[in-house]
Amino acid sequence: MAKDMTLLWGSGSVPSWRVMITLEEKQLQGYNQKLISLQKKEHKTQEVLDINPRGQVPTFKCGNHILNESYGACFFLENQYKSQGTKLIPDSPDAQALVYQRMFEVLTLHHKTVDVFLYNYLVPEGERHDAAVQRNREALATEIKLWEGYLNKTDCCLAGKEFTLADVVFFPSVAFLFRLGLSRERHPVLAKYYNSLKDRPSIKATWPPHWQTSPELDMLKTI
C-alpha cells in the first residue's frame, strides 16, 4: 500500500520528519519520496504547489488523499493502519489524554524554536530589533524548562512507557534543539530523552541526511 504514497520532504524539516517517523512505525516503508531542497526553494516549484498551495514540506499524497499537514498525516496513517506496526494512540483514557495534551503543546515549542532559528529569515533587515531576538530566546528558554519538568515526571517516553504519537512529534523538535547547539550538559533531562530514542529504528532510518555530514550549529549554545 505504501507504493500508493508519495512524500516530498525537506532534510531537517521537523514537520517532514514527523510524517517519516510515522510511516516507519506503521511499517509503510517503500513509499515514493523526493528530497526537496529548501535552500534552492524547490518547495515553491509547481510540482509542490500543485499538491500544496502554501508551498511547504511535507507535501504528502496517500492514494488520492492529500495530507500536507504533518499532524493530519500522522493521525490519518495511525487511523487507517491501526493494527499495523506500532500503536501510536493508546486506548487507555489516562495515556490517551496525555498523548493529546502533549502532542499539541509541541506546536508551541516548535513555534518558539522557529522564532529564534528563522528570525533573520522572517524579519526583513530594517525591521530587526535586538530586544525581539532576546525576547524570543527567553521565551524559548522558558518553554524548554517546562518540557524538562514534564520529562522529569515520565518514564522513557513523553506520555509514559510506550512510544506514541506524542514522541513522533516531540522527538524531531528535541533533536532540532540540539542540532542548533543546545547544551546537553545544561539540559540533561532533554539529553537523556534524546539519547534514549535517537537509535530507535524509525528515527535512525529517517535522520536528516545533511545533519550527518555537517556539524551542529551554535545558535542556542548559551540557552
Binding stretches for a second copy (CB under 8 A): 53-54, 62-73, 75-76, 79-80, 93-94, 96-98, 100-101, 103-105, 107-108, 123-124, 126-127, 129, 131-132, 146
Question: Exposed e or buried b for every residue in 198-212, given b needs 16+ CB within 10 A?
Answer: eebebbeebbbeeee
- Nearer to a second copy among residue 21 and residue 179 (C-beta): 21
In the numeric block, which cell numbers belong to residue 6? 508519495
Q: How far is the CB of 25 from a second copy (least distance, A)?
A: 17
Q: How far is the CB of 37 from a second copy (least distance, A)?
A: 23
- Nearer to a second copy among residue 79 and residue 196 (C-beta): 79
In the numeric block, which cell numbers belong to residue 219? 545558535
β-sheet with 65-66: strand ranges across: 32-35, 5-9, 59-62, 65-66
Q: How far is the CB of 32 from a second copy (least distance, A)?
A: 18
- Nearer to a second copy among residue 30 and residue 149 (C-beta): 149
Helix pair 165-179, 93-117: axis angle to 10 deg: 30
How far is residue 108 CA from its own chain's centroid?
12
In the numeric block, which cell numbers belong to residue 108? 508551541
Q: How far is the CB of 181 from a second copy (least distance, A)?
A: 25
- Nearer to a second copy among residue 9 and residue 178 (C-beta): 9
